[in-house]
Amino acid sequence: MQDEMLEFYKKQSKISDPGKFVKYYEDLPDSIPELCKIVQNTFNHIFWIKDKKNYGITLQDIIDLGRDPNKELNMRNIEEKLKKYFSIEETSFIEPREQINRVVGNCRDFALLLVSMLRHKEISARVRSGAAKYFFPPEMERFEDHYICEYWNNEDNQWHMVDPQIDDIMKKACNMTINTTDLPYDQFLGAGRTWKEFRKGKVKPENFGIGEWRGQHFVFEKLIMDLASLNKVDV
């Protein structure tokens, strides 16, 4: 059963398949930290470029170039994202790219691209939907809506969690000290784990969410999203 499951997550889905852009995957490095750097070189997180102090650009700077940030954000599959990426600038993944020439996305896009690259290397990988603790001070017990990548490590026969979105700027802004390329088990709660803890009365649902979307409805809806992700439908 485990072999069948791992084989399932080695194969691209319609959403993770790079399509005609697979040729750009041939020179990718093998290490997780290096792959995360490449993913960060591909996307701008829409929330983190609302304030110019973070990356030196804003959404308006992208709009002024004739691009539509919302359209870029709402592209669903990796092939669409990469088509936009390479239309902005014809460079390899490995070559550093200016911030403004990266595609607008969110946490799901960072996670999905890393999953796509790992599957290309025949490594079992999947997107996980849940909530992250590391955006807030530990004493707050707050969990932010988030997506990460989970991959199977053959050396220890375990799933490992990776957050490819988190770069040095985000780490500094949020005072993160954890290793985001190998997340500790308690730092990201998949929606299934959150739901179980919620049913047992061990967590406060109002501590989970983003903006006004929080509480019991958030926990339940994230459960559905994670179930979809586990079936390689990365919403």
pLDDT in tens, 103-136: 999 999 999 999 999 999 999 999 999 999 999 9
* Inter-CA distances, 1 with 6, 7, 150, 229, Å: 9, 10, 19, 19
Which is nearest to 130 in space by CA: 46, 200, 16, 219?
Answer: 219
* Inter-CA distances, 200 with 73, 97, 195, 196, 204, Å: 36, 47, 9, 6, 10
Question: Which tokens hold the place of 194?
Answer: 């959150």
Question: Which tokens hold the place of 24?
Answer: 């750009």
Cα–Cα distance measured from residue 79 to residue 89, given in angstroms and rounded to the nearest whole number: 16
pLDDT at position 24 is 95
Residue 1, pLDDT above cutoff 80:
no
Cα–Cα distance measured from residue 169 to residue 98, given in angstroms and rounded to the nearest whole number: 15
Average pLDDT of span 9-28: 96
- Residue 130 contacts residue 198 (beta carbons within 8 Å): no
pLDDT at position 148 is 98
Residue 201 or 72, more confident: 72
Contacts of residue 95, defined as CB under 8 A and 6 or more positions apart, other chains included, come to none
Average pLDDT of span 149-177: 96
Convert 36-58 to b/e letters by CB count within 10 Å (16 or more is b): bbbbbbbbbbbebbeeeebbebb
Cα–Cα distance measured from residue 210 to residue 213, given in angstroms and rounded to the nearest whole number: 5
pLDDT in tens, 185-233: 999 998 888 888 888 988 888 999 998 999 999 999 999 999 999 999 9
Our CA angle for 197, 198, 199, nearest 5°, is 90
pLDDT at position 118 is 98
- What are the domain boundaries of the chain? 2-230
Residue 150, pLDDT above cutoff 80:
yes
Provide the 8-state DSSP code for 76.
-
Residues of the chain above pLDDT 70, percent: 100
Which CATH number describes the domain made up of 2-230? 3.10.620
- Residue 99 contacts residue 117 (beta carbons within 8 Å): no
- Residue 94 contacts residue 34 (beta carbons within 8 Å): no
pLDDT at position 141 is 86
Residue 235, pLDDT above cutoff 90:
no
Residue 13, pLDDT above cutoff 80:
yes
Average the pLDDT over each of 34-43, 79-88, 106-115, 130-139 and give the range with the smallest value: 130-139
Cα–Cα distance measured from residue 187 to residue 181, given in angstroms and rounded to the nearest whole number: 12
Average per-residue pLDDT for the chain: 95
